[in-house]
Amino acid sequence: MNAIINTQHKHRSYRSYSSKAIEEEKLNAIISAAQSAPSWINGQQVSIIAVADEQRKSRLSELVGNQAYVAQAPIFFIFCADFYRAQIAGEKHGKTLEAIDDVDALLVGATDVGLAMSNAITAAESLDLGTVPIGGIRKNPLEVIELLNLPKYVIPISGLCIGYPNENPGTKPRFPQEAILHKETYQHNQTSIIDTYDNTMSAYMNERTKGRQSTSWTERVSSFYEKPYYSSIADMLEQQGFKCKNVKK
């Protein structure tokens, strides 16, 4: 294995950070790594809002569901799907960008964000920094959009805390590769794999919490997805100009 793969294999989520500031050189390297990720048609449909202001971080920590580590981390990145620059390109050449009204634009934007954020995480961890993605940035998206002054055609997809770790959390066990890798066609029979993984996760959680919790993977996932988690997404998309015209009702 090489150093990059070793860094990826050691990934874990950090939710406690020291007060040590992150060097500007490291922040620039992380952003450069994020920008180096592939993107659809080289459209680079990503923008990153870097928030270091204590009051703004505090407000964001409330909006994402009172996650204190958002305020504690020295820097909080908000990764956004961004078609604002594409709109400017259209205006420059007298074109109406009807593709932005297509639901595929959301898939493109979210994919570009995921690729960029993955690069940023690997870069940060290679520099001895800790990270944790924050999907809760979509919990109150309209307020987040106003707070960050996001223009039309830009939507927040995920936050990312970055800082020097103040803890040493465990690395959660993953599914065996046979559950994730499907050779030639999708393999539907996964019940036994999931059952085994449930036992693995229950044992891990029991050890990590010193017996206070032993939730299995299926318990957590089924509870999480039982109902739509964020209720304002449709309002956000409408406000920001994503019409999703080709979604059949």
CATH number of the domain bearing residue 64: 3.40.109.10
- Position 237 in a domain: no
Which residue from 173, 137, 135 is spatially nearest to 11, judged by alpha carbons?
A: 173
Looking at 138, 155, 171, the residue that finishes a domain is 171
Q: Do 126 and 202 fall within a single domain?
A: no
Q: Do 78 and 13 fall within a single domain?
A: yes
The secondary structure element, H or E, covering residue 169 is none
Q: Do 106 and 13 fall within a single domain?
A: yes
pLDDT at position 168? 86
How many domains, the chain?
A: 2
- Position 200 in a domain: yes
pLDDT in tens, 122-179: 999 999 999 999 999 999 999 999 999 999 999 999 999 999 999 888 889 999 999 9
Full-model pTM: 0.94
Rg (CA), the chain: 20
Q: Is the pLDDT of residue 248 over 80?
A: no
- Position 245 in a domain: no
Q: Is the dihedral of CA 107, 112, 118, 124 positive or negative?
A: negative
The beta-strand segments (E) located in the chain are: 46-51, 75-82, 130-134, 154-163
Q: Do 158 and 56 fall within a single domain?
A: yes
Range of the domain at 185: 172-228
d(CA 166, CA 163): 9
Q: Do 89 and 191 fall within a single domain?
A: no
pLDDT in tens, 45-68: 999 999 999 999 999 999 999 999
The percentage of residues in the chain with a pLDDT greater than 70, rounded to a whole number, is 99
